[in-house]
Amino acid sequence: MSGEPESQAALASTFYVKGVLCALDATSIQEVVRVRPVTRVAHAPEYVLGVTNLRGRIITVIDLARRLNLGIADVTPESRMYIVRDGDEAVGLLVDRASDVVDLPSHELNAGSAGLPAGNSRYIAGIGRFERQVVLQLNPAGILEA
């Protein structure tokens, strides 16, 4: 025992949304898939793109850029959907492009959403640095709340 507190690191999957490096706890992600055709849903919130069929499951698709008030996603060949659970339902989070799975030390994350549009604090679990880049650790519960 060295007497120093152990830093806890969690595996996080990183991705970009409108040039912002974001991360989700890797245990909250079921899979990452290419973007597929989406059917619009009448009267859905503007950040809900619609629904898609993923191997027989109906998945609600959220434009993460819109949800974070960063603009509207541009779907490109690099775009991906991160499939996460919301209770019994699976939800796809549309991102600009996937990046790496990394260890994010919890002691390096600070609470807050400094520099982001107002109203984003419920979507952000913390802000930190990873290899000289600012990374936003997202709060899936806040993103998925209606």
- pLDDT, tens digit (0-9, with 9 covering 90-100), for 20-53: 999 999 989 999 999 999 999 999 999 999 999 9
What does the mean pLDDT of the chain come to? 85
CB-based contacts of 11: which residues, under 8 Å, 6+ apart?
25, 26, 27, 101, 102, 103, 104
77-103 per-position pLDDT tens digit: 999 999 998 888 899 999 999 999 888
CB-based contacts of 86: which residues, under 8 Å, 6+ apart?
140, 144
Q: Which CATH number fits domain 10-144: 3.30.70.980, 3.40.250.10, 2.40.50.180, 1.10.3720.10?
A: 2.40.50.180
Mean pLDDT of all residues in 9-17: 87
Q: Find out whether 24 and 36 touch, Cβ atoms under 8 Å.
A: no
97-106 per-position pLDDT tens digit: 999 988 876 6
